[in-house]
């Protein structure tokens, strides 16, 4: 069932940190959204579908290198491409928004 909602070209694991080996600028430019346990999350720093976890920022806290402090949450992870960035949007949908 996760395969139906997940776009086939989204990776199993993705990170926002450019220093991470799981960082992919091309994928992030398309606008990736995350549904975690049925609710949409906007503060996800990293996710892994196969292991079932996300990392979310812990408020405004920073580590000694200036990176956001994160908390690992476990549950059902469903990445998707946000329609407003063009993947799931047709021409009729673009006209009705504006």
pLDDT digits (tens, 9 = 90+) for 27-48: 999 889 999 999 999 999 999 9
pLDDT in tens, 44-89: 999 999 999 999 999 999 999 998 899 999 999 999 998 876 555 4
* Average pLDDT of every residue of the chain: 84
Asked if residue 96 is part of any domain, the answer here is: no
Average pLDDT on 82-98 reads 55
pLDDT of residue 82: 86
Vertex 67, ends 62 and 71: CA angle to 5°? 70
Split at pLDDT 50, 70, 90, the class of 93 is: very low
Q: Please report which helix (H) or strand (E) contains residue 14, including its range.
A: strand 13-15
Strand order in the sheet with 68-74: 13-15, 44-48, 53-62, 68-74
Strands (E), 21-75: 32-36, 39-41, 44-48, 53-62, 68-74
Asked if residue 44 is part of any domain, the answer here is: yes
Asked if residue 65 is part of any domain, the answer here is: yes
Asked if residue 97 is part of any domain, the answer here is: no
81 touches 31 (CB < 8 A): yes
Q: Which domain holds residue 35?
A: 2-84
Q: Give yes or no for residue 14 having a pLDDT over 80.
A: yes
- Name the domain count of the chain: 1
Q: Are strands 39-41 and 44-48 parallel, antiparallel or unpaired?
A: unpaired
């Amino acid at each position: 069932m996760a395969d139906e909602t997940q776009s086939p070209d989204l990776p199993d694991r993705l990170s926002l940190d450019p220093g991470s080996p799981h960082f992919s600028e091309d994928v992030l430019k398309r606008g990736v959204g995350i549904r975690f346990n049925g609710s949409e999350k906007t503060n996800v720093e990293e996710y892994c579908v196969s292991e079932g976890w996300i990392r979310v920022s812990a408020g405004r806290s920073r580590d000694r290198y200036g990176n956001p402090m994160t908390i690992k949450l476990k549950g059902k992870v469903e990445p998707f491409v946000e329609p407003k960035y063009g993947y799931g949007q047709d021409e009729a949908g673009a006209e009705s928004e504006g």
